[in-house]
Structures are given as C-alpha cells and as structure tokens.
Chain A
C-alpha cells in the first residue's frame, strides 16, 4: 500500500486501533453483562415459579376452581424519565412490575391465578423449562413449571426489554468514561504523532531549502532512525557536488580550449577578407585549415574524454600484447607511421588482461604522440617487460629540447609542451591514456633519459 503521508497514516491507524479496541471491549462487555443478567433473571424466574408452587402446595387459602385470582398491578406509567432507584420505589409498587407476569393453570385448562398484566390465555406452552414468546408485541422470557400434586402449570415470565435496558445501562456506564476519554486520547495521539514526525518535517524543509548550486551537507540534530537517511542524502549530495564540480571544470576547460581555435578562425577569416595579396590569402587559408583540423581533433578527443568520465565497466579479456600493439600501430595515421622508424620488441607470449577497446585507444595515443614529437626519421621504440606482477610497456622517442620541467604536468588535461606548440594536438591524448591506465589499476610514468629521449612507461598490474 502506498503511504502518502506518514503523519496522516499514523493518526488514522492509531486512532482506528483505539476505536476498534473500544468497540470490541464494548461489545464484549455488553454480551457479558447481558449474559449475566439473563442468568440472574432466569434464575429469578425459576425461583419465582417455585415460590408460587410452594404457595399452591401449601396454601393458607384454599384455591377453588371458579375463582379468578388476578394479582393486582399498580398503574405506574413508564414515562421514560430517568429517575433514581429510590424515586422509582413508589408506595404502590414498581413500574417494572408490569414487565413481570405470572399465571397458574389447572391441568384441565382452568386459570387459577394470573397477574393483572396478562390475559386469560396461557402465556407459555405446557412444557417444563424456559421459553421465549411474543406477548403484547414484546418478547418475553418465560419459565413453565408443572406441579403434579395440584395438577397445575405455573407460568412466570419477564419482558426481554427489561434485560436489554439493564444490559445497556450497565454497559454504557462502564463505557462512558472510556468514551469521554477517547477525545483526549485522540488529541494526545495527534500531539505524539506531530511531535514524533517533527524531525521528518524539519529534515524535509531543510532538504527543500538546499540550494542546488551549493549542495551543502545537512547538519541538524536528528533521531537515530533518521540518521542513516541523512547520511545517505549527505553522501549523495557530496557525490553530486563532486560530479557537478568535475562537469563544471570540464565545461570550463572545453570552453577555454575551444575559444583559442575559434579566435584563430575569426582573426584569419578577417585577415582573408582584407588580404591585399595572394601570399596573405594563402597564409590565412592555411591557418583556417589548420585551426579547423585542430577543432575536429579536439572535439573527437573530447568525446573520448567524456566517455571515460562516466563510470564505465571494463570488459576484461586476456589478450596477446604484441597483437594489441600491432593493432594500435595499424590505427595510427599513415603520414605519422611513415614519419619515424618503429622498433617493436615485445615477447610473443606476453599476455595482458585488459579491456581491448580502451587499451587499444591508450596505446594508439602513446604511439601517436611518439610519432608526432619525435624528429622525422628518428627511431621510436616500443618494448615490454614483466616487473613485479606488472607488465611494463615502454615507448621511447627522441625529442627536441629539455622537457624535464614539464614532466610533472604531462597527462594534465589540455596541457601541451610549450616547446612543441607547433605540433598539432589538443593536449588531451595523454590525459585520456592516463585515465584508461588508471581504470586498469595501472600508472603512467614519464621521464627523459640521459640521452634526451622521452620515455613513457605504462605499468599494468597483472592478476593471475
């Protein structure tokens, strides 16, 4: 069942349970009281019949067959007004006397005694025991007793509504305090629910007030039950904040990196428009072409970076490193392949456990860089070795100038060696490679050896 409001649900359910309990208690009380009254009155009827029998068997006054001993009933109108018991005890008798009847019949069908509130027809069947009959539109409980010595039937009866009334009064008197208490109980339940759910409301208010641009963690005293929820929300907000920060930085970096080639396009387009000779035109067209290619390359690498920024699941495979390297080499642009001399020294049997597609991209970036930054027709060497549970892939190439001061920044997003600004690139290749290697649990180390060669070592842990 869907719960729309905990407060309403608690209020309704607790109050419903209380009311249900009261109802069950009331019904139970009513039935018990009614039963006890029935027992009491039934016994009284039986006792009453026996008393009459005693009077018959041992009479002080002999009964004659033709006498009609109608027992007089006081005429006391039941006006429905509630009076005290003392007030209801009139000198003439009790108004309830009309609700108790007696008849004594001879076996031959002659009525010997009757109370004034019954007629001259038999009130009960001639069958010993208790009976329920309808008389004068009322339900009566009666008791028939046969007196063999006198050959007479004694019928005593009592109106059922007397019992109901009594039961009702007794039950009501018992339930009245409970009924009066129900309102304060409901009020108390409401207060308790309000008080109990106050932290939930405060937490909800705090959450609603949370600024999506700031995402500050929620700091407020909360009951034990809500702490895991608060911790989960804070953890989620921290992750969201870190994610947004990363996204913001990425967008800022992208925006920054796009602005320069766009400026180049704008300035050279303007120059082209105002060029006065063919040399100026050529220069502008070449610059526009270069900048366009740079933009296309940047966008392509940004897409790769974007893919890696999301938590991707690596599809590991055991694969021959040599094959993987050859594949990566084959995907390098042909002019770059021809630009340098490649020397590959990777043992054939060397296997690596990697995500082939991603690792292929990482290797291709390394080879791409080596070919771009190495002097033309120089040697680029690709080697691999095993070192303490790791496969180390090393790519080395000659490079112009000393880049030792830049080594720490290599692999930073958009960083480009300032001595090699003329080489086309967006400064994302090594950043992408580093990310892929890190995803594999490995690391990328850059160095420049004593001969001045630039060496990239890729450490890839191998779990067997």
Chain B
C-alpha cells in the first residue's frame, strides 16, 4: 500500500515515514503543493497525507486541484491549524479526514485504515482470500488458521494483492511499491518476494500473468 506524504517539515516527515514503514506502508514524500499535484496525478497512491501549511501556500488548492482532476484517492489532512473554518474548508474542498498536530503515528495509521476501508467499501480491517487471512490492524497474517511470518516487504506486497484481488498488478507497480521513489535496493527482487509468499501460503494464491505482472486469485480454481 502506497501513501503520499506531503509535509514541509523534514524532521516530521522523516519520523512519520519511519513509523508508517514499521506499519507496512510504503510512503513517498514531497514538500510542496505543486510537487504533490504532480505526484498524485502521475502515480497511484492509496491515501494522501497532506499538511495544510505548505511552503507554496495553504494546501486547499492542492485538494481542489486533485478533485478537479478526478483523483479520488482519499486525502487525510494533517495540520497544525486548529480553526474550525479551516477544517470545514478542507473537508468541503474534498479532504476525507482531518488530524490535528501533535498527533500519534498510531492515530494516523488508524485513520488511514478507516479511509481505506471506506474507499474500498469494506467493513473491517481483515482481508480474506482463499485460506489466507490478513489482519491489517494487527499486521498479522494466517494461512489455514496458522500464523505465518512475513517480512515487511512480503507483507506489503501480499496486502496490496489482497486489497486488489483478481486484478493484475504490474511488475513496475510492485517494484515501485517495494522499493519506493528513493529506489532502496534490496537483494531480493519482486520474484523472490512472490516466491516466498507462495511458499508460506500456497502456490495457487498468486498467479503469474506472463509479460504483464501478477494477480491474486481470490477463489481456488478447481
């Protein structure tokens, strides 16, 4: 799951990225509103965390521009402005939720899940496909009723598949999800991660679509 964090305070952004990464979220970071508009329109994100006070002005125009460009990604506004008017304005502009600083990273993560649930029209944070069950709140995964241990990236990739069952996810998309904009290198490639997931669950869970990418099969084929 990819998040876009738009925050001009580098220390805070750094801390949030670390915290969200620990919670199995891949977070991309940009500083200004104009950068945010380019990023959100050119790349797919699951949620945008947007600080209202940005160096190039109040970020309300970012929300309005994205909504005008038909970007429906949920927007969680993160701000230090505790004005009712600002909150109402942000929500009216198209934001989905509002978190006031100082805030706990756990609260942000909980709100992110709520936004995702609403966006994906789910009632709870437990995803189920075949015999795999993923608890997004507790970051736990079970197969056939037994806990399985996944690495952070394996969890991230499997969660992405389970959020988009029966949909082909391109290799490039999964690469971006796994390594981010900064291109963090890890010896393991996407193939290795998928191989490990299949090993820990079942080979029939993720199907390779040759030349395109991979797809999670929600129901076992007989």
A residues near B (Cβ < 8 Å) are: 252, 255-257, 259-260, 262-268, 270-271, 274, 280, 283-284, 287, 290-291, 416-418, 421-422
Contact = CB atoms under 8 A, between A and B. Distances in A.
Given A256-B53, A418-B8, A418-B56, A262 B101 contact: yes
A256 B81 contact: yes
Nearest to A262: B102
A419 to B, nearest CB: 8
Interface string B18-57: 1100100000000110000000000000000000011110
18 contacts: A252-B83, A259-B101, A260-B9, A264-B12, A266-B103, A266-B104, A267-B15, A267-B104, A267-B105, A274-B19, A280-B18, A283-B18, A284-B18, A287-B11, A287-B14, A418-B55, A421-B9, A422-B10
Interface in B73-121: 80-83, 100-106
Nearest to A267: B15
B147 to A, nearest CB: 19
B12 A260 contact: yes
A254 B104 CA distance: 20
B9 A264 contact: yes
Shortest 3 CB-CB contacts between residues of A and residues of B: A418-B55, A259-B80, A267-B15
Contacts of B158: none
Nearest to B14: A287
Which of B11, B54, B82 has the most A CB atoms < 10 Å from its CB?
A: B11
B11 A256 contact: no
Given A252-B82, A262-B101, A267-B15, 17 more contacts: A256-B81, A256-B82, A257-B80, A259-B80, A259-B82, A260-B12, A260-B101, A262-B102, A264-B15, A266-B102, A267-B12, A267-B16, A267-B105, A270-B104, A270-B105, A271-B18, A416-B55
Contacts of A268: 11, 15
A263 B54 CA distance: 16
Contacts of B55: 416-418, 421
Interface size class of B (residues with CB under 8 A): 20 to 34
A417 B56 CA distance: 10
A395 to B, nearest CB: 23
A270 B22 CA distance: 11
Contact of A263 (B8, B18, B53, B102): B102
A259 B82 CA distance: 10
A271 B100 CA distance: 19
Contacts of A287: 11, 14-15
A270 B19 contact: yes
Contacts of A280: 18
A264 B18 CA distance: 12
Given A264-B11, A271-B18, A255 B31 contact: no
Contacts of A252: 81-83
A251 to B, nearest CB: 10
B3 to A, nearest CB: 15
B18 to A, nearest CB: 5
Contact of B102 (A265, A283, A422): A265
A290 to B, nearest CB: 6
A421 B15 contact: no
Contacts of A422: 10
B32 A284 contact: no
A207 to B, nearest CB: 29
Given A418-B31, A418-B55, A421-B31, A263 B83 contact: no
Contacts of B19: 267, 270-271, 274
A421 B56 CA distance: 13
A349 B82 CA distance: 52
Contacts of A266: 102-105
A416 B32 CA distance: 13
Nearest to A287: B11
A416 B8 CA distance: 10
A316 B63 CA distance: 51
B10 A283 contact: no
